[in-house]
């Protein structure tokens, strides 16, 4: 997936306001997966995905209907916190790209995956260490 910038978070928070509260975690996780898949599509075919956009969270969230104006109220700020929590959860699943990202330097990948109860001790400085081979970091 493309790097997540503040505008991605703001637009996603704006779009998630239209989703039922109980469904938000699943919807946000789906948006993150679809943005990642759209980025893979863009890299392979050199064009944006027809339904999910260019691989950014913003492009994916903009596909959803927007029901409010641009000024955030307290509810939209709460939605922003929900989006940030979903991104943190997605990153904390233990997927990393060899310590190339500032939030996963050194032994962080090993700590994350061991805290999830798995035996994953590959040195992240020696190469990619994401487990699935399908997902990648933000």
pLDDT, tens digit, for every residue of 93-125? 755 444 444 343 344 444 444 444 444 444 444
Pair (42, 107) in one structural domain? no
> Which among 91, 107, 126 is the end of a domain?
91
What was the pLDDT predicted at 4? 92
pLDDT, tens digit, for every residue of 31-81? 999 999 999 999 999 999 999 999 999 999 988 866 455 566 788 788 888
Whole-model pTM: value is 0.56
* The total number of structural domains that make up the chain: 2
What range defines the domain where residue 121 resides? 94-138
Say if CB 57 and CB 4 are below 8 A apart. Answer: yes
Pair (81, 119) in one structural domain? no
| Closest listed residue to residue 17, CA positions, set 57, 65, 88, 63 | 65
Question: What one-character DSSP code corresponds to residue 49?
Answer: B
């Amino acid at each position: 997936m493309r790097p997540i910038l503040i505008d991605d978070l703001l637009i996603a928070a704006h779009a998630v306001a239209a989703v039922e509260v109980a469904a938000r975690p699943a919807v946000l996780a789906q948006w993150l997966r679809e943005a990642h898949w759209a980025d893979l599509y863009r890299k392979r075919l050199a064009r944006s995905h027809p339904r999910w956009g260019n691989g950014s969270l913003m492009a994916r969230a903009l596909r959803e209907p927007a029901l409010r104006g641009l000024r955030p109220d307290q509810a939209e700020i709460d939605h922003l916190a929900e989006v940030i929590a979903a991104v943190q959860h997605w990153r904390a699943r233990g997927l990393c790209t060899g310590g190339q990202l500032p939030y996963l330097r050194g032994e962080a990948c090993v700590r994350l995956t061991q805290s999830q109860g798995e035996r994953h001790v590959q040195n992240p400085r020696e190469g990619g260490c994401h487990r699935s081979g399908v997902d990648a970091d933000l």
